[in-house]
Amino acid sequence: MAVPPDVTLMERAVLDLNQRDLWNGQNLDANSLLALRCLSEEQAMDLLGSLYSKGTGKGGVSISNPNNYLQAAIAKIVRTGMSSGMNFTGNQTRQKAAELGLSLEDLTLKALARLPLRSSVKLLESAAAAQMGGADPNAVIIAEDCAKFGQGQLNSTLVQICPACTVLLQ
């Protein structure tokens, strides 16, 4: 199949998923491809990565119709106004924390889930390394967020979830 030279990373990922035939002949269709264009590239790639994981049976989740799954997830993202590649794919942050051996507070996990997935994974990896040295991973995540984002996306998220956190973060 001929592919135009200006094909995007997201479009290549869709082609790759279709070639892998993870859903027994069900390919991602033009409607799904157009719906993906409503998202940022990072959001689209995170969603396609989640779809790939589920298609290969990771996490014990099976998707019978990848187009329905994808379009429903995109509709939810657009409807709820989640932007900037938010971690909309469920428990990925919690699962990654468990894989890394982190015991995080629910408040920290909720806050991480509102960050872009790649950002939350980077924070989790830093926290895991720090935990090996005896540091509190919750404190590490909050401190790194403050250093990266000034006031911090995570801090403002924590305050949104729990206004009492303003005291904890000072």
Q: Which pLDDT belongs to residue 146?
A: 62
Find out whether 27 and 70 touch, Cβ atoms under 8 Å.
Answer: no
Q: Which pLDDT belongs to residue 90?
A: 46
Kindly list the domain boundaries of the chain, sorted by start residue.
9-80, 92-168
How would residue 109 be classed by pLDDT, with cut points 50, 70 and 90? confident
Q: Which pLDDT belongs to residue 155?
A: 56
Give the burial class of 132: count Cβ atoms within 10 A of its Cβ; 0-12 exposed, 13-18 middle, 19 or more buried.
exposed
Q: Which pLDDT belongs to residue 25?
A: 92
Give the burial class of 133: count Cβ atoms within 10 A of its Cβ; 0-12 exposed, 13-18 middle, 19 or more buried.
exposed
71 pLDDT more than 80: yes
92 pLDDT more than 60: yes
| H/E segment holding residue 56 | none
Find out whether 67 and 28 touch, Cβ atoms under 8 Å.
Answer: yes
Q: Please state the rounded mean pLDDT for residues 162-168.
A: 45
- Contact residues for 112 (Cβ-Cβ < 8 A; gap 6+): 87, 93, 97, 104, 120, 123, 124, 141, 154
Q: Please state the rounded mean pLDDT for residues 77-103.
A: 69
Sign of CA dihedral 137, 104, 41, 50: positive
Nearest one of 90, 3, 88, 2 to 38, comparing CA atoms = 88
- Contact residues for 159 (Cβ-Cβ < 8 A; gap 6+): 165, 166, 169
Q: Please state the rounded mean pLDDT for residues 110-120.
A: 76
Q: Please state the rounded mean pLDDT for residues 79-95.
A: 60
For 119, the 3-state DSSP assignment is: helix
124 pLDDT more than 80: yes
pLDDT digits (tens, 9 = 90+) for 16-66: 999 999 989 999 999 999 999 888 888 888 899 888 888 877 766 678 899
Question: Between 80 and 23, where is the model more confident?
Answer: 23
Question: Between 125 and 163, where is the model more confident?
Answer: 125
4 pLDDT more than 90: no
pLDDT digits (tens, 9 = 90+) for 128-164: 998 999 988 988 887 776 666 555 555 555 555 444 4
